[in-house]
Structure 1
Amino acid sequence: MRSATFARRMALVKKWGFSPVSLDKLYEQHQAGQYNKNTLVITIDDGWAAIEQGMLPTLKKFGFNATLYLSTYFVFNQRPIFKLSCFYLFWKHKRPFIMANNSCLKPYTDAKELTVHQLLQLSAQLGSASEQTILLELAACFGEDIQRWPQTGKFMFLTPEKVSELAEQGLAIELHTHRHKFSELNLQDAAVEITNNRAYISQLTGKNPQHFCYPSGEYHSEQLNILNELNIKTATTTENELVNKRRGLLTLPRLVDSDRVSELEFEAELTGVMTLLRAAVATFKRGDR
């Protein structure tokens, strides 16, 4: 999402009289059995460095509370995010990766050039330790100077120092797993992901995070027991819908926004018009049966 888009979104939130609150406040309202009609929670996923310039000035301008669901691995391991960097480079240069004779991938394939999907398949076989070497080769092939990316924050996460600073300024930092992995893990490993994530966030903020966002919105029903055992108050999905008091706190929907969503569509979601339309369509389909 471009910063200008985000600014227009926040202006619409203000226009319609919503009062952004913390997840703790949302939890309190749910426990009381009634949400205030102007309640809204602004959530930001992952922890990209770009949010500092792209979102936080607008939030401060309007005086809005917000929550960052933070994956902590790349906060403490500062390097460009591999998969997204690969997609970006292939998208920008619109041609395959032609391997040099001394490429680290040569021993593992007979191909002379690779698409982004072929490259990612090979890198998955080699493991994360090879990612930075592959990315440097890819950048050299495309003539891209990625050595400057950490300075500009391109495809980088916030630094530990910046996370601490933003938390002191009032940005709520909550759970998103340590390595952005959850649904694909067994119960024990999934619990470890949250436990590690919580420990790192506590180290950075001095607070005990109790709200969770499923990476990519994906989970299995048996994993909900993990959240109860870890005293998680709320957990957010990527299901596009409004929250209501009948919905369980560990499968909260939300309005998933991006530049692909038109302003009219966003406003219709915000005001509940899209919720009514979806309900009407569902009722019509049931009637057709």
Structure 2
Amino acid sequence: MCAPQTASGLTGTSWRNEAVVRRLLLKISRACGLFALSRRLTAKKLRILCYHGIWLGDDPLFAPALFMRADTFARRLALIERLGYPVLPLAEAVTRLYDGTLPSGAVAITIDDGWYGTYLHMLPALRRARMPATIYATTYYIAKERPVLNLLVRFMMNRSLSGQISWTALFPAASADRQVDLADAGARAAVADELNRRLMAIDGIDARWAEVVRVADLLRFDLGQVSDGRWFDLMTEKELKAAAEDGFAIELHTHKHGLREFDRALVIDEVQENRRQLARMLGGDPGDFRHFCYPSGRYRPEVFPVLRALGVNSATTTVFGLNGRDAEPLALRRILDHESLTELDVEAQLSGFWGFLSRLAAVVRFRREA
């Protein structure tokens, strides 16, 4: 449920177009010892890795900034171990960052949302590697035990690649009709946007699910294997509790995965309901949950006093970077790992060299534009 990382200056369209040059540069830089130098210079900074889910569906991989393959995640853990980065629980890592006792090159692993694929593949891989991790759990879909509908809708339209359908068949209340060419990616995206907008206006998860089923039938899209395979499901309450009992930290990610416009009352309601639900699911006191991840990584500084008043000790974003002792604890940076990154990319990011390269690229762009 998170947008791809763009703060590094080496992502997006230019990231793809310059991939070969960039990787050659990274290989040369590593061979010249610049990764090792960067690692020494950033030794006391905290590296927080960000993951989401494992793709459980068929090929091609859907939403590669959100989902990765199980074997890719296992290789990432092996890379961390091979490079000798110590992995700490998030709460301990944050405490030790600010009291100055963080071990050299410390890493914390965070996993957003609480996907079923996380439970099925990531947690066993972490147990085998003997690495701790924090799961930021958004609780609405866990409690309802329904697929995450906005992503399911986008997937459904992504895979409906042929034929035409009328707009009023899709949306009977529409005032004007037109034909939708399903071979047109833009047209499919427009349908997904409109359907998700209309779903938000429907009361109740069961009614929203029924609407998704209706549209899937119109598109002749088989929801069976998607539902049976739980491709877009979060963990159940039982699975989340099992994860906690296995020693994985469960922390805050709002109840409905949203902080629209960062309205103060909404922020309070979302965090407190998230806490109440987690306490109900896992046992314990709502106040036990003190670490937070902003939905989709987006935040505003004006929310910091609200979170502090709620007793939140740390909050993570998807802004790229490492964290020093001067980092704002309610705007911690992370390294968003995803399927399209190579091991060389991840090594560069962990070492701190990627950040140096990003700052250099920003300086070059600024001078060109000046």
**Residues 109, 133 of structure 2: 8 Å contact kept:** yes
TM-score by length of structure 1 reads 0.91
Partner of 1:94: 161
> Residue 177 of structure 1 aligns to a residue in which SS?
coil
Q: Does 1:24 align with 2:104?
A: no
Q: Which moved more, 1:257-266 or 1:41-50?
A: 257-266
> Which aligned pairs between 1:40-51 and structure 2 lie closer than 5 A?
40-51=107-118
Give unpaired runs (5+ residues) of structure 2.
Answer: 1-67, 181-187
**Residues 183, 218 of structure 1: 8 Å contact kept:** no
Q: Which moved more, 1:169-178 or 1:78-87?
A: 78-87
> Residue 84 of structure 2 aligns to a residue in which SS?
coil
* Structure 1 consecutive aligned stretches of length 4 or more whose deviation exceeds 6 Å: none
Q: Which moved more, 1:126-135 or 1:42-51?
A: 126-135
> Which aligned pairs between 1:3-152 and structure 2 lie closer than 5 A?
3-95=70-162, 98=165, 105-114=171-180, 115-125=188-198, 127-129=201-203, 130-152=207-229
CA offsets per residue over residues 143-177 of structure 1, 9 Å max, x none? 33324544322211111111111110111100000
Q: Which moved more, 1:110-119 or 1:250-259?
A: 110-119
For residue 314 of structure 2, the aligned residue among 202, 214, 234 is 234
Give, in whole Å, the separation in 1 of the partners of 2:250 and 2:270.
16
**Residues 90, 96 of structure 1: 8 Å contact kept:** no
Classify 1:262/1:42 alpha carbon distance in 2 versus 1 (closer, same or farther; 3 Å). same
Classify 1:9/1:123 alpha carbon distance in 2 versus 1 (closer, same or farther; 3 Å). closer
**Residues 45, 70 of structure 1: 8 Å contact kept:** yes
Partner of 1:172: 249
Q: Which moved more, 1:150-159 or 1:118-127?
A: 118-127
Q: Does 1:160 align with 2:237?
A: yes
For residue 332 of structure 2, the aligned residue among 252, 257, 260 is 252
AA aligned to 1:23 is: L
**CA apart distance, 1:200:** 0.8
Q: Which moved more, 1:110-119 or 1:212-221?
A: 110-119
**CA apart distance, 1:44:** 0.5
Give, in whole Å, the separation in 1 of the partners of 2:251 and 2:164.
38
Give, in whole Å, the separation in 1 of the partners of 2:361 and 2:258.
34
> Residue 42 of structure 1 aligns to a residue in which SS?
strand
Partner of 1:277: 357
Classify 1:221/1:104 alpha carbon distance in 2 versus 1 (closer, same or farther; 3 Å). same
AA aligned to 2:86 is: S
**Residues 99, 113 of structure 1: 8 Å contact kept:** yes
**Residues 153, 196 of structure 2: 8 Å contact kept:** no
> Residue 336 of structure 2 aligns to a residue in which SS?
coil
**CA apart distance, 1:111:** 2.5
Give, in whole Å, the separation in 2 of the partners of 1:251 and 1:268.
22
Give, in whole Å, the separation in 2 of the partners of 1:279 and 1:244.
16
**Residues 237, 251 of structure 1: 8 Å contact kept:** yes
Classify 1:76/1:211 alpha carbon distance in 2 versus 1 (closer, same or farther; 3 Å). same
> Residue 316 of structure 2 aligns to a residue in which SS?
strand
Aligned residues: 288
Classify 1:158/1:200 alpha carbon distance in 2 versus 1 (closer, same or farther; 3 Å). same
